[in-house]
Amino acid sequence: MIKAVRGMKDLLPPETARWHYLETVARAVFVSYGFQEIRLPLLERTELFSRSIGASTDIVEKEMYTFLDRRGESMTLRPEATASVVRAFIENRLDQGAEVKKYFTMGPMFRYERPQKGRYRQFHQINCEAIGGEAPELDAELILLLMEIFRRLKVTGLELVVNSLGCPQCRPAYLMELTALFARGLRDLCPDCQRRSAANPLRVFDCKSKTCQELLAQVPTISDKLCDNCQRHEARVLELLDRFQVPYRRNPRLVRGLDYYTRTAFEVVTTQLGAQDAVAGGGRYNGLIKDLGGPDLPAIGFAIGQERLATLLSQQDADLLQQPLLFVAVLGEAARDRAFELVQALRHQGYVADLDFTNRSLKAQMTMANRRGAAWVLILGDQELADGRAPLKDMRRGEQHLVSLDTLPQILADLQPELKGV
């Protein structure tokens, strides 16, 4: 038996209904905030990621799916979407016009991590990127948008954690101070941090080791060292979150796993997922577009982990998006022939209808209908054909009524519950 690659999961029904639901809700929210969808290749030149994400990050150091193609060029399956969005933005000259460009995208990401619950080697993200705006209102808008997705999906028990990572005016001095501090207390840091503290000392805050965390508790944070502009920016973002009653916690040690962030960084965590507690994360990346050879434009974005989000959703809510199924149970050749015609007509009108072709007993067909979650079953035999009327069983209420076959579409139209608006 050939098995799936380690860390790569098949997504099966009914779980797919949950995914459909969360993607539909997210799309609707993005559209209402003026975002448009962008779809990008899964494969990019390795250089795109090594240059943007940062050489001393977990992703670039040990998580990338990198290989040489047939011409010997180094290719990487994308570990995240921002770098690709920026590449596409520059390459397609999407910078025309002064308005903020707002994009969203959804799809698989690849990271060579140790697979466990909530952590896979192929996983999926919903990504949001706004390019060309520096105003703190835009930071607030993205966070409000993100929280609106959770609100509509009825996901509760989330905590929004925010920080500011400073800018090229204030961060370098802080990094030097940090480097000097680490140079003195370096022996106590874990080997990973010792190595990283030279290249990018901020990374150390992301370390999971307890000794490192204890050491860091005494170290000044970037929040203490922000320049006036960064302070004003952060204050305005937080003021807007307050105004719209979005609760948050400031964590001056939140740095996130990517190097390109400036100013606002945020994460949404939950207590319901055990160790893998981050559902979404994002931040501002003002220097990235220029670094990758594009215009000097500020930007901000976030990513939601779809696997983690899906586990927080109720299956019932997801099922509400599905149109209810009418199953036609048939007895005999003639009835099956008529049923086939009937379901075709119903499908043609946009209803969800099905029947079975395997000649099973009525009882077996009722079981099938149940397993499929049918809302109604129409029972069609020779007698019903002759009468032009057949019993329609409402599976949820357990009631049964005789209905005329000719007026079935009209009857179904009356029976359709309000489809859930998202």
Is 280 one of the binding residues for ligand ATP (CB under 6 A)? yes
One residue of 125, 163, 264, 286 binding ligand ATP per CB under 6 A: 125
Two tokens at 51?
């240059």
- Closest approach, Cβ 277 to ligand ATP, in A, equals 7
Among positions 177-196, residues that touch ligand ATP (CB under 6 A) are: none
Closest residue to ligand ATP using C-beta atoms: 305
- The number of residues making up the chain comes to 422
Taking the complex as a whole, how short is the minimal distance between the CB of residue 150 and ligand ATP, in angstroms? 13
DSSP 263-313: EEEEEEEESTTTT--EEEEEEE-TTHHHHTTS----EEEEEEEHHHHHHTS
Please choose, out of 162-170, 225-233, 246-254, 277-285, the segment that lies near ligand ATP by the rule CB under 6 A: 277-285
257 near ligand ATP, judged by CB under 6 A = yes
User: Is 119 labelled a binding residue?
Assistant: no
Backbone angles phi, psi at 212, to 5 degrees: -60, -45
Number of residues interacting with ligand ATP: please give it, by CB under 6 A: 18
Copy the structure tokens of residue 87. 């590449």
Residue 82 labeled ligand binder: yes
Residues 300-319 that bind ligand ATP (CB under 6 A): 303, 305, 307-308
Pair 321, 420: CB distance under 8 Å? yes
Residue 23 binding ligand ATP, by CB under 6 A: no
Residue at 335: amino acid letter? A
Q: Does 129 bind ligand ATP (CB under 6 A)?
A: no
Among 138, 207, 278, 289, binds ligand ATP (CB under 6 A): 278
End-to-end CA distance of the chain: 42
- Residue 384 is assigned to a ligand binding site: no
Tell me the three state secondary structure of residue 147.
Answer: helix
Residue appearing with tokens 């960064």: 230
For residue 14, is the peptide bond before it cis, meaning its omega torsion is within 30 degrees of 0?
yes
Nearer to ligand ATP, 121 or 393 (CB): 121
Instruction: Please enumerate, by residue number, every residue annotated as part of a binding site for L-histidine.
Output: 80-82, 111, 125, 129, 256, 260-261
Instruction: Please enumerate, by residue number, every residue annotated as part of a binding site.
Output: 80-82, 111, 125, 129, 256, 260-261
Binding residues for ligand ATP, rule: CB under 6 A, are 80, 111, 113, 118-120, 123, 125, 257, 276, 278-281, 303, 305, 307-308
